[in-house]
Structure 1
Amino acid sequence: MSARPYSLLGLWPIVNRWKYLVLGAVALAAVVSIVVALLLPNIFKSTAVFYPTNPQTTDPDRIVIEGGKLELSGRTEDIDRVITIGNSQPVAEYAIQKFRLHQHYKAGKIGDEMADQAALDEFSGNLSIVHTDRDAIELTFQDKDKHLAAQVANTLVSVIDSFNQQLTLENRRRVLGLYGTRYKFLQQEYDRTRKALLEGRRRYGIFGLEQQSRYLGMEIIKTETALRRAEAAGNRGEANELRRALHALTHADGGNVINLESYVQGTDSMTTLYARFNDLQSRLVGARSAYETADLAIKGRISSLYVVQKAYPAARKSKPIRWLIVASSVLITFALSVIVITLLELYRRNVGRPSAAQPAQHA
């Protein structure tokens, strides 16, 4: 015998026979779903939209020194890096501690492992960071408090920006330390050379190599010429005075600070000291300028994100959709009820057929 065909219209007599049970189940589902929907809290979403910038264009050293410009970046590595930072545990823990989300989520005491994990899971479930089709990043946070949701979203954007800058900040601090060490070393050498130069000037009586050599040569020639004239004229008194003056100009024991003997002795060392002093002076100025530029660059942080839209408190709730909950519960309950009563009817028919066929066999 062929199987009996079934259709949706054929279910109507079955539903009609079990209508009170079906109506009771549907009514009960409607009441329960209404109560549950009313008990569910309103959830609000706040979304911030931003673009990551190219780290090379936000380097303060390039901006200060080379006059670089900020450029938006749609590179995959920049977007992946920002999303990874936003979903990282340190960022989540910072936000949880700042907004005291342990108490807000009723997870337990801070420091308890289970409470910390529960708060972290709740926070991660409420956070969404996605890459849009226009290469922007949308950060969405949802919560029962719409103002808290907006505050957490904006704070997360700032924290992501800070963490993104920290990737290169440590290396910049090390470079600044090298600049500082170089500047201190040059300052010490500059002071030491200047002290040696002052001592050399007092010892050798050299205060200017080129000018002093010219002055000393002219004085010696003048004095020696006058001495020869005095000797030729037979003026012994004047000749003796000029002889003593010439001795003072040419010998260190003559009493003159500026004399030829000291000048000759100190020329080589003073020439070296002058050259080193001038070299250290120029290098010290350059090192100080480099240190000040690096220090200014590391203090003047430039945002690595271009925020298109800040997160604002939502005007309407995003969920729950109460009518949809009630409608779906009623429909599902009705469908399950029809399936159950249909199976019961089939079971009854299959059980009743052998009992009906047995008297016919005996006859």
Structure 2
Amino acid sequence: MSAPSFSLVGLGPIINRWKYFVAGAVALAALVSVVVALMLPNVYRSTAVFIPTNPQTADPDRLLEDNAMTRSKLELASRAEDLDRVITIGESQPVAELIIKKFDLYKHYKAGPPGDDATDNFVLSEFSGNFSIVHNERDAIELTFTDEDKNLAAAVANAMVHVIDSVNQQLTLENRRTVLDLYRQRYDYLSISFERSRRELVGARRRYGIYGLEMQGRYMAKQIIETEAALRKAEGSGGDVAGLRRALRGLTRADGGNLINLENYVQGTDSLNMFSTRVIDLQTRLIAARSAFETAELSIKGRISSLYLVQKAYPATRKFKPVRTLIVLGSVLVTFALSVVLIALLELYRHNRLGTTRPA
């Protein structure tokens, strides 16, 4: 005999014959699912949204520079590597362990005291299952944490953002300390060089008797001209020629007895010009080095966030799961489908058995 064929239309009479069984199974499934759904605790979800930045754009060394190019760096800028770096930090085990310890999640998850491998793995698994950090379609980071305690969920999410920000800043902190040491060494070197050059300049002024190049040269030339003119007049009229010669010699010769004289002035002009230029250059560089050092020192002490926080995590006002209606409806539909499959198989088995017992 050929095997009988079944169709969806043929299931109607079968279901009708087994209607009490199907109805009982569905009713039992509905009852059990309602009880289970009511026993499930409410789970709440809190989400923080932030945009990571390039650490260089948030570097106070750059932000405090007063020029248009660096002021433009304050604009929002998020690169793919910045997003990947922040997600990697958020998913790292040290960050998870820090949050677990801070909020005593061993006790919260009822896992027992820490120190045991099985307990530690259980808590890490629970934390990882409740934690999510993803890059959304708007180039922002969504950090989500779920828990039965809505206040704890929000607190953990905000703490995670803070820890990620701190770790992200630590990545460049050591380099910035090295830069600060270089700024300090440069400032100390220029300070010593400036003081040494300033003393050399003062010593040269005393040695050559030059205290103001422009004005001193003008008055010296005037005095020499007047003395020389008086000497020529005295030579013609028989005046004090010897005294005027001594005065002129004192104005023009280094051995003439005058502290301020033309010979020393000419010899010292080049040296003083060189020393003055050197001192002015060192003074300018010293001021710039001091400003750079103070800026770098301020950047080390100040903690400028490397994240732009778009939305802080708040305690949820409605539960995330479970969806009890969906649980009940899903259980009823699955039970109904399994019941139909079971009775169809029973009918098929019975039909085949009856067919094989009939005489040929």
- With the shorter chain as reference, the TM-score category is 0.7 to 0.9
- Does the 8 A contact of 1:223 with 1:242 survive in 2? yes
The answer to whether the aligner puts 1:40 opposite 2:40 as a matched pair is yes
- Does the 8 A contact of 1:57 with 1:63 survive in 2? no
Alpha-carbon distance between aligned partners in 1 of 2:55 and 2:106, rounded to the nearest angstrom: 35
Alignment-mate amino acid for residue 281 of structure 1: Q
- Does the 8 A contact of 1:62 with 1:68 survive in 2? no
Question: What is the match of residue 275 of structure 1?
Answer: 277
Segment drifting more, 284-293 vs 139-148: 284-293
**CA separation of 1:75/1:213 partners in 2, compared to 1, >3 Å: closer, same or farther?**
closer
- Does the 8 A contact of 2:14 with 2:343 survive in 1? no
Question: What is the match of residue 102 of structure 1?
Answer: 106
**Structure 1 counterpart SS, 2:215:** helix
The answer to whether the aligner puts 1:188 opposite 2:192 as a matched pair is yes
Question: What is the match of residue 49 of structure 1?
Answer: 49
**CA separation of 1:267/1:167 partners in 2, compared to 1, >3 Å: closer, same or farther?**
same
- Does the 8 A contact of 1:63 with 1:69 survive in 2? no
- Does the 8 A contact of 2:63 with 2:74 survive in 1? no
Alpha-carbon distance between aligned partners in 1 of 2:211 and 2:118, rounded to the nearest angstrom: 79
**Deviations, residues 180-221 of structure 1 (Å, cap 9, x unaligned):** 433332222111100111222222222123333333343344
- Does the 8 A contact of 1:44 with 1:145 survive in 2? yes
**Structure 2 counterpart SS, 1:41:** coil
Question: What is the match of residue 128 of structure 2?
Answer: 124
The answer to whether the aligner puts 1:151 opposite 2:155 as a matched pair is yes
**Structure 2 counterpart SS, 1:128:** strand
Segment drifting more, 72-81 vs 85-94: 72-81
How far does residue 81 in structure 1 lie from its aligned partner after superposition?
4.4
> 1:248-267 residue pairs with structure 2 within 5 A?
248-252=250-254, 255-267=257-269
- Does the 8 A contact of 2:15 with 2:340 survive in 1? no
**CA separation of 1:276/1:143 partners in 2, compared to 1, >3 Å: closer, same or farther?**
same
**TM, length-normalised to structure 1:** 0.75
How far does residue 147 in structure 1 lie from its aligned partner after superposition?
1.0
Alignment-mate amino acid for residue 197 of structure 2: T
Alignment-mate amino acid for residue 289 of structure 2: A
Segment drifting more, 249-258 vs 339-348: 339-348
Alpha-carbon distance between aligned partners in 2 of 1:130 and 1:272, rounded to the nearest angstrom: 64
How far does residue 314 in structure 1 lie from its aligned partner after superposition?
0.9
**CA separation of 1:202/1:156 partners in 2, compared to 1, >3 Å: closer, same or farther?**
same
Alignment-mate amino acid for residue 280 of structure 2: N
- Does the 8 A contact of 1:54 with 1:71 survive in 2? no
Alpha-carbon distance between aligned partners in 2 of 1:3 and 1:260, rounded to the nearest angstrom: 134
The answer to whether the aligner puts 1:88 opposite 2:92 as a matched pair is yes
**TM, length-normalised to structure 2:** 0.76
**Structure 2 counterpart SS, 1:9:** helix
Percent identical: 61
**Deviations, residues 210-236 of structure 1 (Å, cap 9, x unaligned):** 33333334334444554565566666x
Alignment-mate amino acid for residue 126 of structure 2: E
Alpha-carbon distance between aligned partners in 1 of 2:39 and 2:195, rounded to the nearest angstrom: 79
**Structure 1 counterpart SS, 2:11:** coil
Alpha-carbon distance between aligned partners in 1 of 2:80 and 2:250, rounded to the nearest angstrom: 83
121, 146, 169: which is aligned to 1:142?
Answer: 146
213, 216, 230: which is aligned to 1:212?
Answer: 216
How far does residue 272 in structure 1 lie from its aligned partner after superposition?
1.8
**Structure 2 counterpart SS, 1:266:** helix
**Structure 2 counterpart SS, 1:315:** coil
- Does the 8 A contact of 1:190 with 1:281 survive in 2? yes
Alpha-carbon distance between aligned partners in 2 of 1:223 and 1:109, rounded to the nearest angstrom: 103
Alpha-carbon distance between aligned partners in 2 of 1:279 and 1:309, rounded to the nearest angstrom: 51
**CA separation of 1:198/1:115 partners in 2, compared to 1, >3 Å: closer, same or farther?**
farther
Alignment-mate amino acid for residue 49 of structure 1: V
CA-based RMSD: 4.0
**Deviations, residues 11-69 of structure 1 (Å, cap 9, x unaligned):** 3376368x49x84x667655654554344321101122344557676565267422316
**CA separation of 1:108/1:219 partners in 2, compared to 1, >3 Å: closer, same or farther?**
farther
- Does the 8 A contact of 1:54 with 1:72 survive in 2? no
**Aligned positions, number:** 353
**Deviations, residues 81-133 of structure 1 (Å, cap 9, x unaligned):** 44444333344334333333333223444555544433332222112233444
Question: What is the match of residue 203 of structure 1?
Answer: 207
The answer to whether the aligner puts 1:4 opposite 2:4 as a matched pair is yes
Question: What is the match of residue 325 of structure 1?
Answer: 327
Alpha-carbon distance between aligned partners in 1 of 2:317 and 2:302, rounded to the nearest angstrom: 37
303, 311, 318: which is aligned to 1:316?
Answer: 318
**CA separation of 1:103/1:204 partners in 2, compared to 1, >3 Å: closer, same or farther?**
farther
